[in-house]
Structure 1
Amino acid sequence: MSAAETGPASPEVAARGLPDEVPDGGGADRSLPTAVDVVIVGAGFAGMYLLHRFRGMGMSALVFEAGTDVGGTWYWNRYPGARVDVESLSYSYSFDPDLEQEFEWRERYPTQPEILAYARHVADRFDLRRDIVFRTRITAAHWDADDARWTVRTEHENAVTAQYLVMASGCLSASKLPEIPGIDTFKGETHHTAHWPHDGVDFTDKRVGLIGTGSSGVQSIPVIAAQADELTVFQRTPAYSLPARNRALRTAEITDMKANYRAWRQAQKESGFGVPTPTATRSALEVSDAERSAIFEQAWESGSLVNLLTSFNDISTSQEANDTAKRWIHDKIMSIVKDPQTAQDLCPDYPVGTKRPCLDTDYYETYNQDHVHLVNLQREPLIEVTERGIRTAAREYEFDIIVYATGFDAMTGALTNVDIRGRDGVSLKETWQAGPRTYLGLGSAGFPNLFMITGPGSPSVLSNMVVSIEQHVDWVTDAIAHLRAQGLTTMEATPEAQDAWVDHVNEIASHTLYPRANSWYMGANVPGKARVFMPYAAGVGEYRKVCDRVAADGYDGFVLSA
């Protein structure tokens, strides 16, 4: 799990007059090679590690990145209050023990600047930038069957061919705006949390309207409220949010983790979410009300989402068990928020954990401030954006600034926004029209030598992303090393293996409560998008076993050829 991953401006954002404001940087006009072994899309944690691994294999690799520096999520994710929701000592690379020892984290849940500093430290340490082309978006990638290579085209009309194409563009990097008229008519300032100005936004003495209460909204609302003269939050669906209990790291805990990193990293690999926790052995229904409440209270005070989600062994599979957590959290919200109607509006009605839960700092407490208002769009539908502000079915609200915290075309948007065409010119976007189809979330039938990092059909957004990223990068680079050692040139998922895996992913999801919520896990936030549960819900450890078995069996389910 991580804070909402952000990336380059989507065509929708550009067309609606919300430019991607980033400082100027070099790279777009540099001289490019005409051919490399590997093209990597994205210079976040996945892209940087891929580049490091391919270099170690003696392969030529070129990374394309829309931003002006490395960091991916943490380059773009600059909205007020942006933090990761996995503890810093666990949200870091494990591939280099020296790197683990030398970088000094300061906070339990670090802010965006601290995580970006870590990414930049990694880039400096391994001299990665010389093979990264910044300020450059990929527009198309077409497979040439005759040459068995990908032709990759950029927004600057450059073209590079590569034997392998690896999409490291992130699960949450195609931002979206709400589907309401008038967005481009507002005369005041407009900002999207995924495209925040690098020099910040001054909310002092401003009337601010904010649409969206997902992760970026929950994190930014308390910070904006501390500056604004008036803040009005427009909420379609409330989020479950726990207090982060963030603090400075203690010297002793840093020393202890660094002394025991190898054992901890192994535990991460074997865990369900990439965050080791004790295995729950009891149902929420087999303990007394008092004991259950005490366990939920302990999870609430711990500042850990995983502690809540794993407090009992049936929170994610039994509606009755989940309802106990739901009622307990509702009571907690009602005890914090003073106005009864506002408190009720902040209580979700879907199962706990089935939409992305959040960590916050004083989120619910913020609504007790007189200048902060909540508009429930279920009762008061949003009609349009006007020159002066936002109109609902009840009235028009006037603002100086509107903030859109309205999320992403999750897991598939960053892939289908690129014109990717495989065998016989078949489009990936068209192939996935009824929902993404992958084998292991790593490859897709009909698209040879195309690999996806944390793609749909893998644990991805249900996990500590760095753990899943490293596992995918290691698997992909090991597979390519195997091809090279065997004198082979192409690797492609078979339709049969892909169909079986998609069925398996759906079967696992059907035994959980995840499909019961209209979440971005299901694609429900994008009109017209197929409603399919996209991540793999069996856990990081179980998924790793499957991938390791496939590799050990000679990459069963893939066709390897010369």
Structure 2
Amino acid sequence: MSSPASPPNTVELDALIVGAGFGGVYQLKHLRDEGYNVKLVDFGGDFGGVWYWNRYPGARVDSDIPQYEFSDESLWKGWQWSQRFPGSAEIREYFAYVADKWDLRKDAEFGVFIAGATWDEETCKWTIVSKCGKQYRAQFFLLNTGFAAKRYTPDWEDIGKFSNWLHPSYWPHEEPDLRGKKIAVIGTGATGIQLAQELSKIASDLVLFQRTPNLCLPMAQVEYQGGEQARPKEQYSGLFDRRQVTYGGFFFDFLDRATFDDTPEQRRKTYQELWDKGDFHFWLATYNDMLFNADANKEAYDFWKAKVRARIRDLKLQEILAPDIQPHSFGCKRVSLENGFYEIFNQPNVSLVDVKTTPIVNVDETGINTTEKHWDLDYVVCATGFDSMTGGLTQIDIRGVSGQSLKDKWKSGVKTYLGMTVVGFPNMFITYGPQAPTAFCNGPTCAEYQGNFTIRTLNAMKSNNFRRIEPKADAEEKWVEKIHDLADASLFPTAKSWYMGDNIPGKTRECLVYLGGVRTFLEALNEEADAGYPNFEKGQSL
């Protein structure tokens, strides 16, 4: 039987990449180098992924340089950063530099929102359709949507009555005039922290609505001068190699001892050294039992609490921001980096609302009503986060072999093999998604390691004349079991967080992240590929 012909306007490809962040950019470059006919599409207007959208005041990366860049020597040799933690505008400049250096623009299409994809078992190809009706047909469907592609806004009563809403991920390209305005920021995740720090400098009144204290760590920002960088570039190759042997894919790793192996004096000294380094050292370069032992975790929290309370004058605010009783296991909700956040509450123009004790009741034309009072506002910034890890994938109507959608398959819980492939969805590869190290691995690291596995798999299929590859059901079941076992051995399930899907009403509560660390994850990828993909069904030779 002959294969059905594509409609005349269908773009025929070997692979279609969705997403123009680090993962998509890496795959476009390297698949093209391997001779594949590949295109990249993204709903944004340029390269950058989440950084194309993140234009809000204070937006910046929270992995320091050079950890947050590609390891390609031809790139880092010619690029200089201006800060240890660059702002979003500089990251967009970096993406433009990469796109030009790798000559990517000719194979990228922007302003394209992928609405659906359907697998055809006869042709072993995906038919992928954009929201505006453009159609692509590709053997491989490569999803690089990232973990924060679908924003979340709570359904407050009468929310539509207030007109000046701003969402950080859709910040206007023409900056709104917020100077001297009465502004609310709802949410104290990483975005809310960054926004509050900046808006406190220009707002006549800033009110921050907090549900749960964010146990922030000091960023320790550094301004670079005259081409100086944090580390000599002669060290870069070795540093990039180190990413594959650490838990978080950073240049640093947990200590080789447990919390109570040290005396109290030694612990205080160690904590202080980690604190002074900034970045995520106090979180992911600390004692190796901090995320697994409740007593060890409390030791870290008590040190953190004393440090933070010393920076806040008001005793009531101290208790809301750094409670005496630990609000949740430290590091088991996403840790944010701050640069003067706690000091803004010493300013007369900044207020804090604890929505656990004074919840939001509704919204009206002039502001927000809580159970305590009405807040008169000019702007409301809704920093309430994302349907993390899964939302960017399930908002696409992806239909596999049986016609079942990915959304329906995951309705009662995510199922993947290696956090990259799904039973019933052949030739589909996910990067920086659920059940991978994603939230504990910075973007460029995961982009390269997961990208290399995807490219290696496609090359193996080509050399063996296979048309389709799909994980085996028992392999998927064992991977899901491993995800849950790793979580249950840790303190993560004790905290409500987007790591567990808690931030989205009705979402299944489960660990969405592989907690075994980058090193063991990379070992699993390499073992699978080295053994010839024994946990995959491969077939339909050309």
Normalised to the residue count of structure 1, the TM-score between the two structures is: 0.92
1:539 aligns with 2:517: yes
Tell me how far 1:307 sits from its aligned partner: 3.9
Is the 2:23–2:443 contact (alpha carbons within 8 Å) kept by the matching residues of 1?
Answer: no
1:495 aligns with 2:495: no
2:178 match: secondary structure: coil
Corresponding position of 1:107? 83
The residue type paired with residue 358 of structure 1 is: S
For these two proteins, the number of residue pairs brought into alignment is: 530
Structure 2: stretches of 5+ with no match in the other structure = 1-7
The aligned runs of 1:158-557 (5 Å cut-off) are 158-187=134-163, 189-249=164-224, 254=229, 256-277=231-252, 279-347=254-322, 349-557=327-535
2:261 match: secondary structure: coil
1:320 match: secondary structure: helix
Is the 1:300–1:308 contact (alpha carbons within 8 Å) kept by the matching residues of 2?
Answer: no
* CA offset digits 1:107-151 (Å, max 9, x no partner): 111111111100010111112111111111000001011111101
Structure 1 pair 255/343, CA: closer, same or farther in 2 (3 Å)? Answer: closer
2:183 match: secondary structure: strand
Is the 1:181–1:384 contact (alpha carbons within 8 Å) kept by the matching residues of 2?
Answer: yes
Supply the distance in 2 between the matched residues of 1:114 and 1:207 (Cα, whole angstroms): 29
Corresponding position of 1:8? none
Corresponding position of 2:63? 86
Normalised to the residue count of structure 2, the TM-score between the two structures is: 0.95
Supply the distance in 1 between the matched residues of 2:446 and 2:57 (Cα, whole angstroms): 27
* CA offset digits 1:60-119 (Å, max 9, x no partner): 11111111111011111111111111112111111x211121111111111111111000
The residue type paired with residue 121 of structure 1 is: Y
2:449 match: secondary structure: helix
Supply the distance in 2 between the matched residues of 1:145 and 1:317 (Cα, whole angstroms): 45
Supply the distance in 2 between the matched residues of 1:278 and 1:421 (Cα, whole angstroms): 40
The residue type paired with residue 313 of structure 1 is: N
Tell me how far 1:525 sits from its aligned partner: 0.3
The aligned runs of 1:49-64 (5 Å cut-off) are 49-64=26-41
Structure 1: stretches of 5+ with no match in the other structure = 1-30
The residue type paired with residue 149 of structure 2 is: S
1:367 match: secondary structure: helix
2:140 match: secondary structure: strand
Is the 1:36–1:163 contact (alpha carbons within 8 Å) kept by the matching residues of 2?
Answer: yes
1:411 match: secondary structure: coil
Aligned alpha-carbon RMSD (Å): 1.5
Tell me how far 1:250 sits from its aligned partner: 6.0
Supply the distance in 1 between the matched residues of 2:216 and 2:521 (Cα, whole angstroms): 27
Is the 2:248–2:284 contact (alpha carbons within 8 Å) kept by the matching residues of 1?
Answer: no
Q: Identify the match of residue 48 of structure 1 among 25, 45, 54.
A: 25
Is the 1:309–1:316 contact (alpha carbons within 8 Å) kept by the matching residues of 2?
Answer: no
Is the 2:240–2:251 contact (alpha carbons within 8 Å) kept by the matching residues of 1?
Answer: no
The residue type paired with residue 468 of structure 1 is: C
The residue type paired with residue 257 of structure 2 is: R
Is the 2:274–2:285 contact (alpha carbons within 8 Å) kept by the matching residues of 1?
Answer: no
Supply the distance in 1 between the matched residues of 2:175 and 2:272 (Cα, whole angstroms): 36
Q: Identify the match of residue 113 of structure 2 among 120, 132, 137.
A: 137
The residue type paired with residue 31 of structure 2 is: F
The residue type paired with residue 262 of structure 1 is: S
Is the 2:434–2:513 contact (alpha carbons within 8 Å) kept by the matching residues of 1?
Answer: yes
Tell me how far 1:33 sits from its aligned partner: 5.1
Corresponding position of 1:24? none
Is the 2:127–2:138 contact (alpha carbons within 8 Å) kept by the matching residues of 1?
Answer: yes
Corresponding position of 1:119? 95
Please identify, of 126-135 and 472-481, the stretch whose mean Cα deviation from structure 2 is larger. 126-135
The residue type paired with residue 305 of structure 2 is: H
Is the 1:380–1:394 contact (alpha carbons within 8 Å) kept by the matching residues of 2?
Answer: yes
Tell me how far 1:474 sits from its aligned partner: 0.7
Supply the distance in 1 between the matched residues of 2:49 and 2:235 (Cα, whole angstroms): 29
Tell me how far 1:361 sits from its aligned partner: 1.0
Tell me how far 1:287 sits from its aligned partner: 2.3
Tell me how far 1:264 sits from its aligned partner: 1.0
1:154 aligns with 2:126: no
* CA offset digits 1:238-275 (Å, max 9, x no partner): 11111211112366963953212221111011111111
Tell me how far 1:288 sits from its aligned partner: 2.5
Supply the distance in 2 between the matched residues of 1:253 and 1:289 (Cα, whole angstroms): 38
Supply the distance in 2 between the matched residues of 1:34 and 1:553 (Cα, whole angstroms): 35
